[in-house]
Structure 1
């Protein structure tokens, strides 16, 4: 019997590997595998979601009008310069659907966010990964050199997930000067709230200088709404209009919209939590360096251990402890570790010292 077959590009897609979760029959794990914030949701956010749940029998606002308006106000742009979707991954998919198709190329750094080589062929385009530099940074000159007549989109991740370095202002400006304006540049700023390096490119300010630039951001990280799925793109109205046309109707639920709006109201409280993570970042990095790890400078809520061939064995050993310590290994490359609470970070350092 002959059954329907998928497009070859879809059949060959790499699998997205989520952060590990604990087993149901063991102690709750120390979960440092998914770049979540270690704190539970704010009571005000839970309250807003509970209130929204009372109307869950009704469709949500398909256009998320209030959320678009609030984000535009926060970012000092017009509402038609914002496109909201079900997480920044979905927003990036909408961008690729709007601007790429068969025969087109999408350039991005590698190793970077593992959704990139999945989303690109789904859109029908061809992925062009460009290796990172030896210090785990984007090689922007090489990325610019990889642009061809077929290139439609270039994705730049700052800070880079999973290695951590951010893109500096000067190198970004040099890069944009090399990229033709017909090419859409997507600056993925999923971790922008955790950045403290004053030399990091300011994506919002760069929008005024570069008409072919779009930013993507998320409520999943700093705002602690990983389970709600809300992300957004920001750019000129001309660039954003086709992206909005690709958004799946009703894809941002009424609960997610309520959570995002309540989070914007609680911005100061949430940024205090972000600051707690940022404060822990150098302490964890220095402790790991004392164990002999060559940790790149990171501007996200995670650190990168360049473990090479030891990545999976180390992750498995950590997961085999009681309680399990869950991290995110990348085969033959390294391990990404989310910054947790001080107690969780101390547990990680102790466990790694015992494995040395």
Structure 2
């Protein structure tokens, strides 16, 4: 269970411009107004630039994009309540504002896709030339039996020979099974590069922009998921790295991993608890266990700022998400609540 403490006096107030009622809506951030407010806010509250931080704290925000966080968008993460991502983002924004003077850097990851990718319907066809339905799965056995095959028309877009692609499809689905990953899920077209679904939720974008200017700390955006031949739930590692011949088709994001582990504390929130956030934390933990298990204690998971994928009547990943978080906590990572001041996080000496 997450550690919960009532709001402490050492937290900052929430700026008057923040409207919790519009967290689930699309709107334009008034940058010039917020920039002016940021300068005033820093002076009023004596907030120093991030370069002065003795304890460097990173907030990693996983895939807090319209496509996952706005109701009626492609892959809205409703969680058990039906409004999961909206409620999570309200708490996340409030957490950022109350802890502006403590968070050194904010790093949002951006799930980034184009139409022709292995988890989108157009990539596959059955014997009748039909595409798979969103939220369905394709298994290795189905590919091996020819029930699903690569759509010949997309070979040109991937710049690969069709027979090679078909062989890769068998390899890819087999690799997922052998590695204990989720089976290949066919997702609706989502997080499309250049589309409104790809953008950050406006309320969160506003909070990040305000933090950037109050603390003079550039927001670091991390792009993931644009490789057409593999899913990329984790921000640190694609699902599959090699093709059927053992040639690399993707690589681990060691640069980003090293950047995250260089901070004194790493706080993680975002979507979804069962998929992109869970796999990111899982890869982070694997690296920590390979080098120094004690580093797990400096990772804090904002458990009330993330929700699992739940599609009523279709699929519910709540149990898998909870099991993953239990495993993370058992390894030493700390489950905390957004109502806590960062200064009160266990083991953190600011």
Band of TM-score, shorter chain: under 0.3
TM-score by length of 1: 0.24
TM-score by length of 2: 0.24
